[in-house]
Structure 1
Amino acid sequence: MWKANGSGFAANIRFLALAAALYKSNGTLYIEEDWYYKCSDLHAWPALFHGPTPLSFTPGTTPECSRKTFDNVRAEVELYKPGQWDVLEQEGLSQVWHLAPFLRQASAKALRELLHQPAPHIAFHVRGGDKFDEDQRGKRASTYPEHLVASFEAQHPTVQGGTCILIGDDHKLINQTQDLVRRHLKCKVMLRGITSGSRHEQVEFNRLPLEDRCAATQRLIVDLEIMAQAEYFVGSPTSDR
């Protein structure tokens, strides 16, 4: 049994994938839900993902199975060499990241719209909000828009033009990134995520009404599909995306 928690979407899906890879031989992966990215108070994970690894929501009665939490999975993964972690993640994602039909349709529509935008497509994940507080607690350097753009320029110095897709959770940082990519990369800007006067705070998100969290969950999953399909992706190593 996998125990989700109240942290962000990417952290939960990453550890769910790792759990699927580590415990796949045991059959059905039961999920005891305690998270906030959902569109229903019941059956949240199975409603979003229809993969080959059976996901079964258990509301109260617990089947006879091994119970695993974030800490359990982290401890087992750390027994592997760092180079093997990506292999485990990919194996797990191949089992669980199979979107429900309504999410496949939403993703396909967004990707069709992207094809009408000038190429190449460069997806920037502009993470801000409470990530900086998390960085400070973890005593690690934060990634700012200028770092993202400079990193892309260093790795792809000849790439200019196209479409820069800005996906993020912090209005101020999105604006900064927009100015930078227009000036440095001469690209058309396509905005996704937060675009007006706010930034992501996980605690505040968890308190939102269910319909607001549902809409945000669907947008986030589509954003992840766009990032995966873009010709270039620019992000931070401290973000689970």
Structure 2
Amino acid sequence: MRNIRLTIEYDGTRYLGWQRLGDSDKTIQGKIENILTQMTRSKIEIIGSGRTDAGTHARNQIANFKTESKMERVEMIEFLNRYLPQDIVVKKVEEVPDRFHARYNAKGKKYSYYVWNDLIPSAFERNYSFHYSEKLDVELMNEACQKLIGTHDFIGFSSLKKTKKSTTRTIKELAIQKEGRLLHFTFIGDGFLHKMVRILMGTILEIGAGTLKLEVIDEVFESKIRSEAGITVPAQGLFLDEVYY
């Protein structure tokens, strides 16, 4: 039995997210599994490094699957990219040790979020950024980013209810880069809770616009109450850039 690791790039615009849904063929995982099943002539289930929501994109999503197929890796990548939709691309196929697990072995992730900050929306960026027209104080948003860096309980900045699992995560880097009217936010951490990046982004933007005070970050860490944090920004501005192992 071989263990195959895939590096996958996708435009999530048309899809209901990564995770396979029983009543829909509009998921990334479902599309890839269907082609792998055709390719190997046996039922294939893939393990992703984690879920991405409907509309979210990935530059380097990682997944693995087990197969008895003797097909060469070059043939696999050619087959996959010939039959997958054009908005899903397999960038790399590797044979890895049997114990490799795309989700359990992941040690961290890097995400990007893009904000189109202008009164006028962009026809070209609409599927890849969040149009936010309010004037933003970048210096204040940088202060907010610095407050979020480090090890904290982020449950108040997630969509999770109470859980027995740990909700403590470490953000190692949170940076802003201005590219004309486009703001590029980079998040690097050891892991992220459900919708955590999108809620952190909403909080940072509302602080930058003056809707929320900078102190709200400490208050949410203390209270652990989701409703005290900022909005959940739309998924289309979010990209999974890297998974670290």
TM-score by length of 1: 0.28
TM-score by length of 2: 0.27
Q: Which one has the bigger strand percentage?
A: 2
Q: Which one has the bigger helix percentage?
A: 1
